A and B are shown apart, each in its own frame.
Chain A
Amino acid sequence: MVDNVIAVRDIGKAFAGVQALDGITLEIAPGEIHCLAGENGSGKSTLIKVMSGVHAPDTGTIELNGKTFSKLSPIEAISNGVQVIYQDFSVFPNLTVMENLALNAELAAHRTFVSWKRMRAVAEEAIAKINFTIDLDEKVGQLSVAQKQLVAISRALMSDAKLIIMDEPTTALTKREVDALFAIILDLKARGIATLFVSHKLDEVFEISERFTIIRNGKSVITCLPEELDHATFSHHMTGREFDDDHFVPEHVSEEPILETRGLGVDGAFADVDLTLRKGEILGITGLLGSGRTELALSLFGSKPADSGKILINGEVVEVGSVRAAIAHGIGYVPEDRLTEGLFLERSISSNIVISEIDSFVSKFGALDQRKADAEGQRWVDELKIATPNPANPVNTLSGGNQQRIVLAKWLATHPKILILNGPTVGVDIGSKHDIHRILRTLASEGLGVIIISDDIPEVIQNCNRVMAMNAGRIVAEIDPRTTTESELAELMSKDPSTIDGKG
């Protein structure tokens, strides 16, 4: 038995009373490719942060290089060979590749003067390690996502890493880029460097991993070899539910579309998007990060007005040049990132809910009827079962699922006819996720037109009656979720853009 690179034992960590991690144990052997899987909100990120020294655990120990720590500092983690590549890569976009690679070493050496020649040599050595060719003088902000990731990996390898933790590394990659990444991971393995691969994408996980640890609600569910699992048991371990094939079937779909686009495009983001949405439908739009899905949503909502094409509402061409225009046309938008785009965190729950309709509580003398506004807030808190003792509490006292309900409530309060949701259940616990899906189905059955934009494939397959796949700024296919499997849809999303350009 070889000594582990890292072993965490019985780790517990609570945030503001919420138990994010509860008795997690995880061991990684040298050169092992270990997969950490779990749904959003299961505690994956927290565990990574404990292993890299960002968070101190409340209970448990961390063993590194034969030493036992009750908590790590980031410096200790790095000096013991733990490197994390975060989803945002933590690279400096305004610096060149060379500076990104060599600055750490320069700084660590406590040199007073910078030698560009030495930095270049260091950087060249770093990229050579993973046979990666790139212009060292390019600004990192100009690189593609995959290239940024390679820069981050090269940088991680410079400091004699023994374990590289990759947090959802494939989220924004095309299939070919994923293959290239896997080749690098295998190469690292050959050199005895272990990888902790964090993902919830089944296919990838099975392709690369040698061992799994699945966590759910902060607890380890199982650690096992890939042979012991199939897709169904894997999903079951992740979600704790048996997968029911409960597809959404719309009750009444209107004859006439409520929303149509013709040849819609935003320069540099997406082009030639034709879609139709009828009352009572839930239309799914799925695609990878950078496929243009978010830009499409923003242009329908007037925040990034289209450069070409037309938007029709109830059969009439309308100008959606601003968010206010979109709202006036009855469009609501639940944004991708509720924390930065959806919520006013330090303001009260009820003011968050009523903000979009606040002008309707103003008397003709210009005075705001606070009592009426609070009553409206309370009504939605009851309606959507938002768990709070008092709607006057600030939003940041709530969990992710309840926060998302507030964003939803804000839009439902404006009585929209079309509701666009971008990643409606990102970072939301399973219970709330389920509830939000049920709310959306109810809304559709009440005659709302709903669009779900999401890269959570099971989510769109289960909750939409039609799904469009976006890839490299185009709609590449429209599928019937009842007859399409998750992997078929994933294939459509992640095909290399060069092979589908011809089809346009």
Chain B
Amino acid sequence: MALEECGYITREELEQFGLFPSEERFKQGPVAVIECIQEIPCNPCEAACPRNAIQIGAPITTLPMLNEKLCTGCGICIAKCPGLAIFTVDKTYSGDEATVSFPYEYVPLPVKDEIVEAVNRVGEVVCKGRIIKVLNPKAYDRTPVVTVAIEKEFADEVRSMKRK
């Protein structure tokens, strides 16, 4: 497992665990990507989803499963995941751009319209990104969620931004 040896998840691993949304679902708009493939005792994402799209059940170590039909990609689960392992991806954002929303607990926070360096799961810069929004309401409990617009082809790769 790349995650155990190298510390990052691969798309293949996500697919293997049934955690990578289908292309059909991506075509319909924003959707959550839950990058959690180890059975750890944790379930706040399940209660976080207002549409019950995330299921864990018992025991608490069961992997989360996303019901992609119920998921609206609202992103509430992003800040609720203690592992910071949930993202939302919108491949329908515009003709040539997709957006990726990710948790970002560093200061300074980026600001709207800022151009940042978007990074992949290994921290490598893959492209430039434009900040669409930065949400940091009280309910997120100090886990701001940043949404960045990037070229569509990098939507499955980009998962954060380079720290400033």
A binds B: no
